[in-house]
Amino acid sequence: MGIFNKKFAEMINIVLFGKPGAGKGTQASFLKSQYDLVHISTGDLFRFNIKNKTELGILAKSYLDKGDLVPDRVTIDMLENEVDKNLDAKGFIFDGFPRTESQAEALDNFLEGKLMKISATLSLEAEDGILINRLIERGKSSGRVDDQDESKIKNRFEEYNHKTAPLINYYKRQNKFHSINGIGSIKEITERLIQLIDQL
């Protein structure tokens, strides 16, 4: 039991925040290999479950097809399944989840049941103007329509600000929130993240 507790106590579990274009996906892949973590992106989880017609994927699709939001419980069940499949990992990067305070509480409760906890919440920060330019550039090669329209990008930023503000306060109350300067080269930003994680 002591060894079991020690293993989980040494895990690095990170929540990665950042507006669209902040570089979450890029940095998650570096941190994943640096610390041997499992990257759990809710977007990827949804795509995987829907494509493979899992029970949860079929359930999620039934809501999406009606134009409804997928209930928290379905998302959390997908995420819990993914954690359970990777309990030998050295930790997890949660990307795109939690998005609300109730989701953050559900994640904390689930991890607590596994004798695990969130180590830190890292938020990649950059000015809106820089992020808009990044997204429009990305849209030229990715073909993503929502990356090519400045007004749609600004709407996504508004939604992010509205939803994330309470979450930031939630993690600040736990002394787990860290703001990271997301401007500079990819290597510079990675080094800032590593410096912070190594101090946890």
Note the pLDDT tens digit of each residue in 149-180.
888 889 989 988 888 888 999 999 999 999 99
Residue 153 burial (10 A CB sphere; 0-12, 13-18, 19+): buried
What Å distances lie between residue 42 and 5, 74, 79, 115, CA to CA?
Answer: 27, 11, 8, 22
DSSP per residue over 97-115, as a string? ---SHHHHHHHHHHHHHTT
Residue-level pLDDT at 34: 92
CA torsion through residues 176, 177, 179, 182, sign: positive
* Pairing status of strand 177-181 against strand 120-125: parallel
Q: For the chain, how many structural domains are there in total?
A: 1
| 129 alpha carbon, distance to own chain's centre | 22
**Residues in the chain, pLDDT under 70:** 1-9
Residue-level pLDDT at 70: 87
pTM: 0.86
Distance CA 51, CA 58 (A): 9
Residue-level pLDDT at 3: 42
The residue segments making up the domain with residue 179 are 2-198
Residue-level pLDDT at 4: 43
CATH of the domain at 162: 3.40.50.300
What Å distances lie between residue 79 and 2, 90, 97, 106, CA to CA?
Answer: 27, 17, 9, 11
Residue-level pLDDT at 7: 55
Task: Tell which phi-psi region holds residue 67, choosing left (phi > 0), alpha (psi between -120 and 50) or beta.
Answer: left
Which token pair is 169?
Answer: 């306060």
